[in-house]
Structure 1
Amino acid sequence: MNEQFIKDLSSGINGFLTHLEPMKAVEGLTPSTARKKPSDKYHSCWDLLHHTVYWQDILLKNLDGKFIDWMTLGNEDNWPSNEKLSKDEYFLELVKKFKKNLEITANKLENIDLMEKIKIGPEHTPDVTNFRLILVFLQHTSYHLGQIVTTRKLLGDWKEE
């Protein structure tokens, strides 16, 4: 049964039977376009990708058994600073990091006990299984990829297949 879970989760990481393969959401996205917002009510694609990668990093640390007090995480880290937004190379590195995080997560599936409960935060934080952390990774990533695609559509930067 664990083997089927791993296969299904791995296919989810790669976008099988979901809206799209994750890297397609950022394919062809330039730093200049990634900075743009359709209006002040929206985040930019860059904002959304930064936020996604930030939380992927935290979840990957949790999967490595590292304790993180989520309550101490600052909102300023959750979104890119103006300094980062001004540097094209940061966006290009962010795209690479996003791809790497997907690969790391897929590899972790082969080496973890999905049903093992782990402590991820302070005493009031319930223990969770590795399976739950992988689901959070997938759900959070998928949600924000949808936002990135929608933002690109609103900016006229999305080609339908």
Structure 2
Amino acid sequence: MHADQRKKLINELTDLIRGGNAHVTLDEALAGIPAHLRTVIPDNLPYSIWQLMEHIRIAQKDIVDFSISKDYKTLIWPDEYWPEPTDSVSDQQWEESVKEINDDQQRFFRLLQNENKDLFSPLPWGSGQNIVREAMLIADHNSYHLAEIVVARRLLGIWK
């Protein structure tokens, strides 16, 4: 792959992960959610906005950790991927979760930009996964759950 092709691919994958093309961004999905509604589970949905956001954080961190290190520790599905319901979430907990989502995306973007990494070679500690696949997995997973946050917001009457 030529350097200019690699750069274009990295830019496309980065934009895909950030969102905003065919789906809302994390910032858009979370903007203006009243604190008292973060943990409310809307009728006929299984999760609150907080649980969805935490699931995004946990799953994305898992994917990034797997992509970066052979010392990756597998999480137990579904117990370690989904937080339990809670009655309240502090502003500090909320902000720390959003920050970690953004920080882990930055960690992944640095991996993508590392010219010493082959984006298509299978990760030696995996079962055929490569960095491009993991980038698409992050984007796909996050967009799916961001859409669920939008649905929850609509049901709570707090979407545009």
Counterpart amino acid of residue 75 in structure 1? P
State the TM-score, normalized to the length of structure 1: 0.82
Of 68, 72, 84, which residue of structure 2 is paired with 1:81?
84
Q: Which residue of 2 aligns with 1:37?
A: 41
> Does the 8 Å CA contact 1:36/1:44 hold for their aligned counterparts?
yes
Per-residue Cα deviation, 1:70-126 (whole angstroms, up to 9, x for no partner): 4x515332222356x5441322211221222233323322114211211445xxxx2
Deviation, 1:67, is 4.5
Q: CA separation in 1, counterparts of 2:36 and 2:26?
A: 20
1:28-52: per-residue Cα shift (whole Å, max 9, x none)?
2243211011115331111111111
User: Quick one: structure 1 residues 7 and 41, their matched pair in 2 at CA, closer, same or farther if it must change by over 3 Å?
Assistant: closer
Look up the SS of the partner of 1:78 in the other structure.
coil
- What does 1:1-161 align with in structure 2 at a 5 Å threshold? 1-68=5-72, 70=74, 73-82=76-85, 86-88=88-90, 89-111=92-114, 112-121=117-126, 126-159=127-160
Alpha carbons 1:26, 1:95 under 8 Å: kept? no
State how far apart, in whole Å, the 1-side matches of 2:67 and 2:13 are. Answer: 15
**Count of matched residue pairs:** 153
User: Does the residue aligned with 1:77 lie in a helix, a strand or coil?
Assistant: coil
Instruction: Tell me if the contact between 1:31 and 1:91 (Cα under 8 Å) persists in the aligned partners.
Output: no
Q: Distance in 2 between matches of 1:30 and 1:120?
A: 42
Mind listing any 5+ residue stretches in structure 1 that lack a counterpart? none
Contact kept? 1:65, 1:119, Cα under 8 Å: no
CA RMSD of aligned residues (A): 2.1
Q: In the TM superposition, what is the alpha-carbon distance from 1:8 to its structure 2 partner?
A: 0.7
